């Protein structure tokens, strides 16, 4: 979901993006000088990824070498050859509430191959009764995969929703990939 609220566009002279091929389809990254702003999970159609990735961004410039080390990690991840470990990547969580930022920061700490429930994640941020609000914050995650919102499920083990391409089918595949 793009991090655009109330019609606000994200702009800057240093806005860059790239779209590259993975075993699951095309993946997109958008960043400025300060860090990663958005990702777009794989889709078979490059134009669809470009449309999703660039929505609300003003004048981004294509750069095939943008965040090249991260690109390589993502390619290896979707090939099933590596666990994604982008912890050092600087993230820019623009146009999000402090609550949503706290949820996404806690979500980022969930290890690959593990899942937590919405209520467990709410507890991790000191708001044990806020599981629905946690779900709403995760639905606004502008950086899926890097912030692994796919690792958050219902207490009963069911997947819950997933707002990225492919919905719960993609969420299920990501969880299975990480557990293998």
Domain limits, the chain: 10-78, 98-179
CATH code matching the domain that covers 10-78, chosen among 2.30.30, 3.30.160, 1.10.4030, 1.10.3470: 3.30.160
Structure confidence at residue 11 (pLDDT): 56
pTM (global) more than 0.85: yes
**Catalytic position from the list 40, 52, 107, 149:** 149
- Assign domain 98-179 one CATH number from 3.40.50.300, 3.30.465.10, 3.40.640.10, 1.10.10.10: 1.10.10.10
* Residue pLDDT tens, the chain, 180 long: 334 333 445 655 679 999 999 999 999 999 999 999 999 999 999 999 999 999 989 899 999 999 999 999 999 999 999 877 765 568 998 889 999 999 999 999 999 999 999 999 999 999 999 999 999 999 999 999 999 999 999 999 999 889 888 899 999 999 999 988
Residue 11 contacts residue 57 (beta carbons within 8 Å): yes
Distance, in Å, from the CA atom of 59 to the CA atom of 15, rounded to the nearest integer, reads 7
Verify whether residue 52 is a known catalytic residue: no
The pLDDT score that the predictor gives to residue 82 is: 82
């Amino acid at each position: 979901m793009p991090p655009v609220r109330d019609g606000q566009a994200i702009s800057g002279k240093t806005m860059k993006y790239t779209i590259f091929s993975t075993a699951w389809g095309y993946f997109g990254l958008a960043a400025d000088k300060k860090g990663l702003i958005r990702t777009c999970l794989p889709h078979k159609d490059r134009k669809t990824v470009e449309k999703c990735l660039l929505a609300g961004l003003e004048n981004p410039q294509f750069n095939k070498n943008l965040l090249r080390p991260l690109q390589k990690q993502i390619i290896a991840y979707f090939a099933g050859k590596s666990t994604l470990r982008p912890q050092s990547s600087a993230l820019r969580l623009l146009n999000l509430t402090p609550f949503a930022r706290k949820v996404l920061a806690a979500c980022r700490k969930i290890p690959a191959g593990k899942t937590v429930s919405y209520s467990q994640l709410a507890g991790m941020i000191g708001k044990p009764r806020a599981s629905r609000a946690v779900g709403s914050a995760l639905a606004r995650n502008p950086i899926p995969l890097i912030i692994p919102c796919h690792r958050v499920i219902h207490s009963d083990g069911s997947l819950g929703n997933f707002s990225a391409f492919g919905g719960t089918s993609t969420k299920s595949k990501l969880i299975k990939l990480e557990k293998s």
